[in-house]
Each structure stands twice: as C-alpha cells, then as structure tokens.
Chains A and B, each alone.
Chain A
C-alpha cells in the first residue's frame, strides 16, 4: 500500500479525534484527512467524496456500531480502503467482530502519539498489526472450520507456514521475532499475515454465501 492521499477519522470524542488527525498528518505528510463525529456524518462523507484510502474507526459511536460502518466501507470500496479500528476495547469479542467486518488493523486508544505514528507508518509498509489474542482466535477459527470451507473456497484453508506464523504470534512473539524463529524475513511474515487477513475475509464472505444459500436467499 502506498501512502494514503485521503483519510477519514470516525471518532465521537473531539479531543481524541484531533489527536488521531494530528497523528495521521505526522505519519503521512500531505494527507487530506477529515473527521466525523458519528455514523451519519461519516456516511455523508462517503456519499460526497467516495471512500477514502484510509479510515480510522471507533467502535462505540453515539448513533450505532463502528463495525457496521466497516462493513459499509468494505462494500463500497471493494476492499480498496484500508480501515483501522481505534478503540478502548481490548477484548476478543470486539477485536474479532471488527476483523470479520473487514478491519485491516486494530489499535488501542491509549497509545501515545509516537507509538500511534509508528503503527500508522507500518501500515504504509504493508504490515498489519496483529496481537497474540487475535492470532489465537484466528487459529481457533480456522481449526474449527476447515472442511466445508475448503470445498467451497480452496484458498480459505491456511498453509502450514501461515499456521506457524499465527502460532508464534499467538504465543507472544512479534512479527520480527517470528521471522527470526522461522528463518525468513520480516517482510515475508508480513505477507503471510496479510494473506491470513484476506483468507479471513474470504472465509466470512464464503460463510455468508453458504448461509444465504442455506436459507434460500440466493
């Protein structure tokens, strides 16, 4: 992913919104970033100027759930918009819901400015932040549903290397450390992680299609 030219910050607290907008400007000088205080405002931006290159989305909003906006965004942009969740919630349920809805990253609000900027820059390099908890959940997810999905979408199953990456990250290793353990470069690990995210999206989509078929909607 190249440096984003347009960005949207969906966050209801004004101070945090300013903090995120400032971090965006610092990470990507020259980016056109706009702030929205609620879902309605963010949707009107989408209608006006089309999907941005990057979106930072809070999960709890005054008029709805950020997860719904993530889904809209993935739908409208066809996956072109990189969306990152910025939230106070660190529990598995919130995390996993967001990733299933198409979030390409998950950051916690209490990060300092420098740390935040560093993370945003990593996005630019194509790296996806992945916490051990998310990795563990992903492993469970793929383990629980290999067979039926493989029949529908052969790509949806993880390769042994990808499984290894998830396993190492799930045990608390950072991607650089995982790369060392596996004897590959950090960039390769980042590639695996991206592939995993993509498969996860496919999984959820394939699952949705299956569900739709089962219910006679298609």
Chain B
C-alpha cells in the first residue's frame, strides 16, 4: 500500500468529521418535529414537560402539563405507555428490551403521519384533538446536549487523526486513533439519542443504541491494547484483536442464562475495561521504568486517561451508585473524555509522544491557515452576495485590486512554497561547499536541504548510502553523507504537504554530486596552494639559502657580495614564478642573454650569442623549466668568469624536436683533471637539469671548455 502525505491523510480525517457531523444533523432533524419535551409520570401518564415557543405543539394550542391521550382519530391506535419511554427501570432481559423498542417504533411510526392529529387531555381530563403542521425542525432546536456530545467526538477524532496522519504505520498511533474513533461512535450515538423528543423510530433507535454501546466497549478494548504497546511494547501478541474480541464478547452476553440486556452488560463491560485500563497503565509503567522518556510519556498519558475516565465515573457512575445527583450536568459528562485527548495534545511536545515534536504543530498551523483562507473567501462571497446595492463593477474592482493581492500575500506568508531557482541552488551549494569549518558546513548543508525540501523532520541516519533513496513509500528521503554531515533522513517534505518522488531523488543526487565536485575543486585549489608553498620553500632553501650560505663562508668580501647578489637574483626568479604563468621562451632567452652580456662585459669577456630564431615564437616555457635552465646558465657563466680565464664566450641556443639545447663554449683553461672545483659545479648542474628531465654533456673542444645543457620544453613529471 502506498501511503499518502500527512496533509492528505489529515484532510481525509477532516472530511470524515464533516460527514459525521452532517449525518448526525440529518438524523436529528429528519423525524417530524413536535416542538416540546415530555415526561413520563410514575402514574403511567406521558405529559408535556416543556414547549418550544412557536413550535408545532405550541402553535396547535398545546399546554405544558397536557397529557398525551392518543394519536390520530383512530381510538384503537397504540398509545405510548410511560414505561415504554425507557425512563424507568431498564428492561430486565434483552428480549424485553427488544419488545419495548418494537413498541416505541410502532408508536414512532404513528407520529410521522401528516398531518398529525394528537389527542391531548388537559388537567381537567377533557380531551381535545390538535393538528400539527410545518414540522421541519430548525437547527437551533436540536438542543445543547446534541451539539455538545457531537463536538466531543469530533474533537477527539481530529486530535487522534492528526497524530495518525503523521505516523500512519505505527501500531500505537493506530490503536490511539481507534480509541478516538470509538469515542466518536459513542458520542455520536449519545448525541442523536439526545435529540429525540419522545421516542426514536425503529432503525434509528437500534442504530444509535448500537453505535453508542459498541463504541463504548470498543473504546475500552482499544485503550487497553494501546497501553500494552505504548510507549513500551509490552507484548508481541496481536493486541489490536482485543477490540473486536471485547465487542464480540459483549454482543454475545444476551446468550447468557437469564438473557441479560445488552445495555446493562455493556455498562459492566466498560467498568471492567476501565479496571483493565488501569492495570495496563500499571504494566506499562513497570515496563517503561528503565527508560525515563518512556516513563514520562506513560505517566502523562496514564494520568490523562485516569483523570478523564475517572472524572466521568466519579461524576456519573459513583453518584448513581450512591443514590445521589451528579455533581455536574450528566448530559455533558462525556466531555471528560476529551480531557484525555487534549492532555495528549498538550503533552505531545514536552514528552515527545509518538516521537512527534514541534513540527507536528506546524502541520496543524499550515492546515489551519489554509482553512482560514478558505473561510475568508467564503466570507467575502457572502458579503458580496449580501450587498445587493453595491454595483458589480465596484465589487470586482475591490476583489481584483485589494483582495486578490492581499490573499496572495497571505498565501505566500503562510503556505507558499519558497522553492529555490536553479541558479540560486547552484550558488547555495557553492556557498555550502566553501564553508571552511566542517561543522558549520554540515549546518549550512542542512539549512540548504531545509530550504529545498522543507522537511518537517531531519534526523541523522545510521545507514551509510551512496545515493539518495526514497524511504517509507515517499514519506522520507535518505541522503548520503555530504558536506561533512553524516547521512540524513528527511521526512515529510514540503511541510507535510507532499511526498518524496523520483524528481526529488534526482535533485538530491544532483545536489550531492555538485557539492562533491565543488568540494573537490576546493580541495584541489587548497592542494595547489600547498604545492606552491612547498615550491617556494624548496626554491628558497635550495637556491637562495645555498647562495647565502656560500656567501657566509667566503673569505673574500667581493665574493660574498657576488653570492648575495646571486641570492637576490634567485629571489626575483622565485617571485616571478609566483604568478604561476608560463613565460614566453623568447623573453626568457632574451633576458638571459641580456643579463649574461652585462655580466661578461663587467668581467671584460666578449660574448658571442647570436639571437636565436625560435621555430614557434609563441612557445612558452613552464616555470620549473625556465627557472632551472636560467640558473644553470648563470652557474656556467659564473664558473667561466671565475675559473676559466677566458677572453670570449660563445653561446649557441637551438630548439629541436621540443628540446632546447644551450651550448656554452669558452676559450679558457678547460676542465682540470683533478676532481673538485669546477667538477663539483658540474654535479650541481646535473642535479638542476635532472629535475626537469634534461642532461648536461661536455662535448670535446679544442680549447677551453664547452658545456651543453639540454632539456625538454614540455613540463615533465620529474619537475
């Protein structure tokens, strides 16, 4: 079975209540109206006790105190005897009760004659015939007892319906709902019977009597079953069967020896059930003793039931047993049962009854707001209809320019869905993903979900899942862990007005995917920052640090200065690499050539470095490549200036097949045979070139030293 959204269920409950109320009113007004109440006197006479002014009896000239002497012109027609009104002793057996009901029905049939002629006897004993006409009973003459008892049942049904709509699959709420429905049955029966003026017609009398008695017995059974499962499930037995079981047992009592009437056995049954309810509450309290939350719930509900039912018994049953009048008007004593349900509604949040919380009231608020708007519409239509003088045009203008915008505003403030647009959603997800603090991010994620789905309930889920999934036939949506939050279960989307469907699942997957993507991007960025920091740290340490160290250990001041100058030059390269951009190879070579020319000029060495024509003028070099290449060339030139004693240096730059080779030849003394000195500088060069996948070679030369540096221009993995 596919469940419906809480709002749909609750609307169903409201419809049931409306239908019940209409049925009750219809049953109360359908018997032809007499317009008075009657009293059965101990002498067997049935006399008029009260008259409704302008009622059919009063109009026909009946007086209070008139005795009902007969119906119709036919003197043989059955007359209602006082004991048959049921005002005195109850029937001793069920059979006697049925006979009485039959006599009532027969009499009731005569009352429905149109026109109805009644023979009344005045105090003097003189009989006169009166004719009753226009016997439609107005609603305001149904009596307070009818309305009050009808209202009691409806209030209880609405409250249990509300709880059941939120947890329709829960045995406890189902049983609780059953108590409310039972209460509706017995209050309904009571209300309709209370509206009867003299005697009810056969079918109605039997029907309402049964409803009243069955409801009362079922109520007790449901309450016992309820306290056996909530808050702690005491037994695994199918306790719900207690309800039909109780009703069947009671219905079978006329089979007992002596044919006891159902009415009296029903009262015994409910008294017995009341005792069992108290026992069940005790059992429940014992079973819940180790769970403080369950204990509190059990105590609160038990107290409500004992107070409500106890007050009923104390006000009605006890005084009767003691032969005294009830303390409060017994006609309204069923109102004490409402205490149970109001108490439950009050304790709902405090004790988290049925795992419900504040949001359970929120859904009520939305429904009430919707109902209020409809009422407002009705009021307006009535007002417009009731003002015949007002021109139709003016009314339309008022509606179009004042009422509709106002109504729209109210709608948006109370009920409107505030859904996010797609671009807003993207921005919102990005915002969530970029929250730095993990906890704050999880919070932001929940806020976003609340905005997108408007769930009434968000709970962390214990189930780890990779994708979003529908839970409980659409009541819930299970989300995978995201944004630093654990997996979440959302329930009752759109403030309880809808269910989760495939569209929501897809959206959830998209949101989670988008979030993951942005988070990945953010992490990649963070990694990039870390890598860049590492690069700077390494370059600072390897290049600047090494130069400063060598400057520190030099004895000669000018050499120290040169080392420091070199360190500053390296610093500049490192900083220029901060932009992270590749540089045009042509520019790198031009700067290197210029720098070399300046240095060699200062040293009095001639430079022969023909400008190179690159195959592709737009060719760029990655930072690591140009950084290491430049450093290597600088180092070779430094060594040449320092050790070679050369007069001329020739530099030849070539680009072939994605490799750049720089050949630096001097006409100096060449490489010494002994290790150390210039040879150790070579190791340094090899390390630098090795980092970018390049190599150093020393081609044979007739004079001086030739060093060839070559490296691939594409960035290599070794970098």
Give every chain B residue within 8 A of A90 (Cβ-Cβ).
572, 576
In the assembled complex, 21 residue pairs joining A and B whose CB atoms fall closer than 8 Å, in A order, are: A90-B576, A91-B575, A91-B576, A109-B568, A110-B564, A110-B568, A111-B565, A112-B558, A112-B562, A112-B565, A114-B602, A115-B598, A118-B602, A132-B591, A172-B589, A172-B590, A172-B592, A172-B593, A172-B611, A174-B598, A177-B597
Interfacial chain B residues near A110, Cβ < 8 Å: 564-565, 568-569
Please encode chain B, from 555 to 571, with 1 for each CB lying within 8 Å of some chain A CB and 0 for all others.
00010011011001100
Closest residue on chain B to residue A129 by CB atoms: B598
Contact between B564 and A173, CB atoms less than 8 A apart = no
B597 and A132 contact, CB distance less than 8 A = no
B-facing residues in A108-164 (Cβ within 8 Å): 109-112, 114-115, 118, 131-133, 136
CB pair A172 B565 closer than 8 Å: no
In the bound assembly, the distance between CA atoms of A172 and B611 in angstroms comes to: 7
Contact indicator A173/B611 (Cβ below 8 Å): yes
Of chain B, the residue at the smallest CB distance from A114 is B602
Determine if B293 is an interface residue (Cβ-Cβ < 8 Å). no
When distances are taken between beta carbons in the complex, the residues of chain A under 8 Å from B597 are: 172, 174, 177
Q: Which of A88, A171, A173 contacts B586 (CB 8 A)?
A: A171
Distance, CA A171 to CA B586, complexed state (A): 7
Q: Complex: how many Å from CA A129 to CA B590?
A: 15
Nearest Cβ in chain B — how far from A9, in angstroms? 20
B49 interface residue per 8 A CB criterion: no
Chain B at the A interface: mostly helix, strand, loop or mixed? helix
In the assembled complex, B594 has its CB within 8 A of some CB on chain A: yes
Nearest B residue to A118, CB-CB: B602
Q: Does B587 contact A (CB under 8 A)?
A: yes
Residue from B569, B575, B594, B602 within 8 A of A172 (CB atoms): B594
**Selected contact of B590 from candidates A112, A118, A132, CB within 8 Å:** A132
Nearest Cβ in chain A — how far from B582, in angstroms?
Answer: 15
A132 to chain B: which residues have CB within 8 Å? 587, 590-591, 593-594
CA distance A112 to B602 in the complex (A): 10
Chain A residue numbers with a CB within 8 Å of B611 are: 168, 171-173
Known contacts A172-B594, A173-B611: A112-B589 contact under CB 8 Å: no
Please give the number of chain B residues whose Cβ is less than 8 angstroms from any Cβ of chain A in the complex: 24
A111-B565, A112-B558, A171-B590 known, 17 other contacts, Cβ within 8 Å? A90-B572, A109-B568, A110-B564, A110-B569, A112-B565, A114-B602, A131-B591, A131-B594, A132-B591, A132-B593, A133-B587, A136-B590, A170-B590, A173-B593, A173-B594, A174-B594, A177-B597
Which A residues touch B589, using CB under 8 A?
A: 172
Contact with A along B507-531 (1 / 0, CB 8 A): 0000000000000000000000000
Shortest A149–chain B CB gap in Å is 25
- Residues of chain A within 8 A (CB-CB) of B576 are 90-91
- Which residues of the other chain, B, contact A174 by a CB distance below 8 angstroms? 594, 597-598, 601
In which size bucket is the chain A interface? 20 to 34
Nearest Cβ in chain B — how far from A26, in angstroms?
A: 15
CA distance A112 to B641 in the complex (A): 15
A171 to B589, CA, bound (A): 8
Interchain nearest-CB distance for A195 vs B (Å): 21
- Cβ proximity bits B582-626 to A, threshold 8 Å, 1 near / 0 not: 000011011111100110011000000101000000000000000
| Chain A 98-111 near chain B by CB (<8 Å), digits 1 or 0 | 00000000000111
Seen from chain B, the residues whose Cβ lies within 8 Å of a Cβ on chain A are 558, 561-562, 564-565, 568-569, 572, 575-576, 586-587, 589-594, 597-598, 601-602, 609, 611
Query: Roughly how many angstroms separate A17 CA and B167 CA in the complex, as a whole number?
Result: 85
Set of chain B residues within 8 Å of A136, measured between Cβ atoms: 587, 590
Report the separation of the CA atoms of residues A177 and B610 in the bound assembly, to the nearest whole angstrom: 10
**Given contacts A110-B568, A115-B602, A177-B597, A172 and B561 within 8 Å (CB-CB):** no
Q: Which A residues are in CB contact (< 8 Å) with B568?
A: 88, 109-110
Given contacts A88-B568, A110-B569, A172-B611, contact A133 B602 (CB under 8 A): no
Is there contact, CB below 8 Å, between B587 and A112? no
Chain B residues lying within 8 Å of A172, measured Cβ to Cβ, are 589-594, 597, 609, 611
Q: For B562, B590, B609, which residue has the most chain A Cβ atoms within 10 angstroms?
A: B590
CB distance from A87 to the nearest CB of B (A): 11
In the assembled complex, how far is the CB of residue B655 from the closest CB belonging to chain A, in whole angstroms?
Answer: 15
Q: Which residues of B contact A131 (CB under 8 A)?
A: 591, 594
CA distance A116 to B636 in the complex (A): 24
Residue of A nearest to B589 (CB): A172
CA of A141 to CA of B500 in the docked complex: distance in angstroms?
62
Q: How far is the CB of A211 from chain B (nearest CB, A)?
A: 28
Residues of chain A within 8 A of B587, CB atoms compared: 132-133, 136
CA distance A115 to B562 in the complex (A): 12
Task: Give A133 to B593 CA distance when docked, in angstroms.
Answer: 12
Complex-state Cα separation, A136 to B597, whole angstroms: 18
With the chains together, A88 CA to B569 CA distance in Å? 10
Closest-by-CB residue of A relative to B601 is A174
Closest to B613 in A: A171
Chain A residue numbers with a CB within 8 Å of B561 are 112
Give A157 Cβ to nearest chain B Cβ, in Å: 24
Select from chain A the residue with minimum beta-carbon distance to B568: A110
Task: Compute how far the CA of A93 lies from the CA of B593 in the bound complex, rounded to whole angstroms.
Answer: 21
Question: A91's closest neighbor in chain B, by CB?
Answer: B576
**Assembly CA distance A115 to B598 (angstroms):** 9
Chain A residues whose C-beta falls within 8 Å of the C-beta of B586 in the assembled complex: 171
Which are the 10 A-B pairs with shortest beta-carbon distances?
A: A172-B593, A172-B590, A132-B590, A110-B568, A110-B565, A172-B594, A132-B594, A171-B611, A171-B590, A174-B597
Q: How far does the alpha carbon of A111 sit from the alpha carbon of B602 in the complex, in Å?
A: 11
By beta carbon, the residue of chain A nearest B566 is A110
Q: How far is the CA of A168 from the CA of B597 in the complex (A)?
A: 14
- The answer for the CA separation of A1 and B601 in the assembled complex, in Å, is 24
Q: Which residue of chain A has the shortest Cβ distance to B562 in the bound complex?
A: A112
Min CB–CB distance B585 → chain A (angstroms): 12
- In the complex the two chains form, what is the Cα distance from A109 to B565 in whole Å? 9
In angstroms, how far is the closest chain B Cβ from the Cβ of A59?
Answer: 14
What residue of chain B has the Cβ atom nearest to residue A130's Cβ? B594
CA–CA, A111 to B599, complex, Å? 10
Closest to B609 in A: A172
Chain B residues whose CB sits within 8 angstroms of the CB of A171 once the complex forms: 586, 590, 593, 611
- Report how far A118 CA is from B568 CA in the complex, Å: 21
Residue of A nearest to B587 (CB): A136
Contact residues in B for A177 (Cβ distance below 8 Å): 597
CB nearest neighbor in A for B586: A171
Chain A residues with CB under 8 Å of B598's CB are: 115, 174
A110 to B561, CA, bound (A): 9
* Binary interface encoding of chain A residues 170-209 relative to chain B, with 1 for a CB under 8 A from any of its CBs, else 0: 1111100100000000000000000000000000000000
CA distance A133 to B564 in the complex (A): 23
CB distance from B198 to the nearest CB of A (A): 102
Q: What separation, in Å, do the CA atoms of A136 and B590 have in the docked complex?
A: 10
